[in-house]
Amino acid sequence: MVIPAAVIAVVMAANPVAAGSSPSTVCRITDDRLNEISGLLTDGSGYVVVNDGADDPDGRKIFFLNRKCKVVRTVSYPSRPRDTEDLARGPDGTIWVGDIGDNGGTRTTIALWRLAPGARKPSLFRLSYPDGAHDAEALLISGDGTPVVITKDPVTAGLYVPTGPLRSGRTTPLRRAGDVAIPLSGTTNPFGFAGRLVITGAGQSSSRVVLRTYADAFEYDLPDGDVVAALTKGSTRTTALPDEPQGESITFSADGSSLLTVSEGTDVPILSYPLPPDSSPPAAVSPSTKPSAESPQSESPQAGSPRADSSQAGSPQAAPAQADAVPAAREFPLGATAAAAAMIVAGAALGLLLARRRHRR
């Protein structure tokens, strides 16, 4: 179907970006086991990453890297994960792995893996959507320790949170807590228009969260730790991430002065996109051995944060960009014509995108 040029122009104009500094390479990840990186965190001594799906058993681990991107430690899962898509860190230093991918829309449950500080293996927790299966690639943790799953639904992503404490051995229902309109731009990327319509990763610091598509990054202030409120009511600043091969990971640098990204593939760089001095958040959330007093009650053997149980590169060619803050709810034109056009294009293009990913695996 041909979409009128005027409609596309309106959509593209919704979130303009201005030229900024080009990214620099922090280090290169060359370990053959890391060929589909889908989640990235910083810590005091380097980085934490996970693979997307990982058909190879050697890749189904949580990898800890030093500052030169060399693997220094791995943590294995006690059972096979289904499709690990993102990493997040709770206020008490707990690492959460989002086993939330579902390209085929067939999963009856999703899962979160929780690796508490000092633990040798992660705990598993199952969750279920109230409205059928969703593919998701982004996970954030609120200030009280509540996980927030951000779906890969085009144009408007769903925000899902547990209805109660996560319990080991039981499935916890999720509820849809809100929606986030995805700001659109004209940033070039391998997937074209469809690559600007879906959330592929997330990251956070103590006072800011960031979502990304295959093309751009969107920062939101997090003044009180409420992720859902920040994404649904806050303002956003946009950084273009042009021409990343298949970017599904993002986080803040340890000092909060830049955004770090990495693409799927072998021998890939961690790229650093500098943030303007007036928009740089405080240092990223760092591990702590003390549990958070605000974390929701958990019935898992490890206390201090919510709970879960599972079911079954080259450098960019264009400069990133920063835009003035714009209320998040206004960033996508909500006129019926523009929204319908975007959904039509998204449906067709995302079908091709997912087919490419399945074939690659």
pLDDT tens-digit map of 160-185: 999 999 999 999 999 999 999 999 89
Distance CA 295, CA 90 (A): 9
Q: For the chain, what is the domain count? A: 1
Written as tens digits, the pLDDT of the chain (361 aa) is 333 333 343 344 445 454 456 899 999 999 999 999 999 999 889 999 999 866 788 999 999 999 999 999 999 999 999 999 999 999 999 999 999 999 999 999 999 999 999 999 999 999 999 999 999 999 999 999 999 999 999 999 999 999 999 999 999 999 999 999 999 899 999 999 999 999 999 999 999 999 999 999 999 999 999 999 999 999 999 999 999 999 999 999 999 999 999 999 999 999 999 998 766 544 444 444 333 333 344 444 333 344 343 443 333 333 344 444 433 433 333 333 344 444 545 554 555 555 555 444 4
Q: Which residues pair with 221 in a beta bridge?
A: 208
Question: Which position has the token pair 């229902």?
Answer: 173
Show the CA angle centred on residue 251, arms to residues 198 and 93, nearest 5°: 120
Six token digits for residue 212: 């990304």
Q: Where are the alpha helices (DSSP H) in the chain?
A: 5-12, 227-233, 336-360
The answer to whether 319 touches 20, Cβ cutoff 8 Å, is yes
Provide the CATH number for the domain around residue 51. Answer: 2.120.10
Distance CA 121, CA 117 (A): 10
Residue 132 region, left (φ>0) first, then alpha (ψ -120 to 50), else beta?
A: left
User: Which CA distances in Å does 199 have to 18, 57, 109, 294?
Assistant: 21, 27, 20, 28
| pTM for this model (two decimals) | 0.78
Domain coverage including residue 284: 5-360
Burial (CB count within 10 angstroms: exposed 0-12, middle 13-18, buried 19+), residue 355: exposed
What is the model's pLDDT at position 318? 38
Distance CA 80, CA 122 (A): 12
Distance CA 126, CA 99 (A): 9
